[in-house]
Chains A and B, each alone.
Chain A
Amino acid sequence: MSEGISQPDQPQALEGEGKDLFSKFDDVIALREGLLSSGQEDPFNLVMEKVLSPTRAICNGRDTILLGTYNYMGMTFDPDVVEAGKQALSDFGTGTTGSRVLNGTYQGHKEVEQALMDFYEMDHAMVFSTGYQANLGIISTIAGKGDYIVLDIDSHASIWDGCALGQAEVVPFKHNDIEAMEKRLKRIPEGAGKLVILEGVYSMLGDVAPLKEMVAVAKKYGAMVLVDEAHSMGFIGENGRGVVEDAGVIDDVDFIIGTFSKSVGTVGGFCVSNHPKFEIMRLVCRPYVFTASLPPSVVATACTSIRKLMHGSNKRAHLWENSKALHKGLKDLGFKLGTEEPQSAIIAVIMPDLQQGAAMWEALIQGGLYVNLARPPATPANMTLLRCSLCAEHSEEEVGEILSIFEKAGKQVGII
């Protein structure tokens, strides 16, 4: 599940009426107009006029603490990372203007792939232009017509879109339900190709998957396993390799998908794998071939950032402290949270409904705090959520400040 603000992750077929092809969006237009007509500040049209640091920005004219970015490790202003980007911009220019398989592979692309292989201690790494494309490309290429994909119902939009593009048989199971997953694997016809897709951290509620058990079940039925670790890279696991590392199953998964747009602090996506035939993907994976490669400055910043994340254990420890402090503080204030215990850097505050969620979001932004408003149908069980994502650069004092803004806003809106 993801940041799709007004649409579910799982694609839906909408039917239009009449000649205007836009008529299928009338419901969404009405919902949005209804929300804004009450004078509500638009939660989906925020502009950051200045970004002061990984945790501060001037948003809609106000000095704001950022608690809704995916800048978990705070690498966006790291001096070494910024310098590497500037150097690559001067040395290699602004862009590659070409596909990775033609003129779009520079020294920097090979270097960032080597950094990923070193980071994960894996044999192969393939870098895509975005995380979305990494899932889209890998899934659609390896699971085709006649193959079966068994996946969690709360999967991210890029996973669903990859399934649809590849035309495999798609079999979802209830979120994090090991038994439901096993039942479905058991029923797949003999001889069919099987791919199980899981996420380390699910981004809506910030809960983690029981990967130790799930990966074992998948292997028992001879399925290949792909795990999306977008929200855990750099933070979870002893070396920041994700929930797969923390659960001790990194050697049993076939593919790890990740992104540069969260802990790494720039943009891009990747897949790492030990599959002996993995390199052929570069020639057969359409979302890799038919798009321009990342600009040299982006791969240079990503490479430097990934290498620094290998030595980020102090930052990881501080981020855990922040996550625990915020979770406990919000719980003590009387807010309802998405998980009983903090499981990741995401803490979801459950709102009674969209109206009060939007009012709460507005009270927070006016108090100088930015969080993500997530609403149905992008959320599990049609919940309205205020999603808080912490950064290793949030200080202890800032977490305290965040809690007092939440307290004031919560009382003002009447939620606590």
Chain B
Amino acid sequence: MDRAEVDTKIRSLIEPFNKKGIAVMDETTFQNDLEFDSLTVMDFVAEIEDEFDIIISMNQQAEIENYGQLVDAVTKLQAD
């Protein structure tokens, strides 16, 4: 799956978590813009992990602050 396809998939997965309907761009941050708390992060990460059959460990999550970084990371992880 290339980056654009991963982006499309994640965009549909993020929708139910994007309670305020914020326009999601590569620079959109999970903590400040989308206001995800730790439980939301867990549920959202679980959705992505199940969809792509990957693990995003908390150590890796710590490096991911915005949407673009997430798409990059998932693109790389699912290709491995």
Q: Which residues of chain A have a CB within 8 Å of any CB of chain B?
A: 8, 10, 13, 148, 153, 167, 169-174, 180, 183-184, 187-188, 377, 381-382
Q: Which 8 A-B pairs have the closest CB atoms?
A: A169-B57, A170-B58, A187-B55, A171-B57, A153-B42, A169-B59, A170-B57, A171-B55
Complex CA gap A187/B56 in Å reads 10
Complex CA gap A105/B43 in Å reads 46
Q: A171, B58: Cβ atoms under 8 Å? A: yes
| B27 is an interface residue with CB less than 8 A from chain A | no
The one of B46, B53, B60 that contacts A180, using a Cβ cutoff of 8 Å: B46
Chain A binding site: helix, strand, loop or mixed by DSSP? mixed
Chain B binding site: helix, strand, loop or mixed by DSSP? helix
Interface size bracket, B side: 10 to 19
Q: Which residues of chain B have a CB within 8 Å of any CB of chain A?
A: 37-39, 42-43, 46, 49-50, 53-55, 57-60, 62
Q: B54, A187: Cβ atoms under 8 Å? A: yes
Complex CA gap A10/B59 in Å reads 13
Interface-central residue, B50, B53, B55, by most chain A CB under 10 Å: B55
Could you name 14 residue pairs across A and B whose Cβ atoms are closer than 8 Å?
A8-B38, A148-B55, A148-B57, A153-B39, A169-B55, A169-B59, A170-B57, A170-B58, A172-B58, A174-B42, A174-B43, A174-B46, A187-B55, A382-B37
The smallest beta-carbon distance between A85 and chain B, in angstroms, is: 41
Residue of B nearest to A12 (CB): B38
Q: B57, A183: Cβ atoms under 8 Å? A: no
Contact A187 to B42, CB < 8 A, known contacts A169-B59, A170-B59: no
Residue of A nearest to B58 (CB): A170
Residue of A nearest to B60 (CB): A169
User: Which residues of A are found within 8 Å of B53, using beta-carbon distances?
Assistant: 187
Residue of A nearest to B53 (CB): A187
Q: B38, A188: Cβ atoms under 8 Å? A: no
User: Which residues of B are found within 8 Å of A169, using beta-carbon distances?
Assistant: 55, 57-60
User: Which residues of B are found within 8 Å of A170, using beta-carbon distances?
Assistant: 57-59
Q: A10, B38: Cβ atoms under 8 Å? A: yes
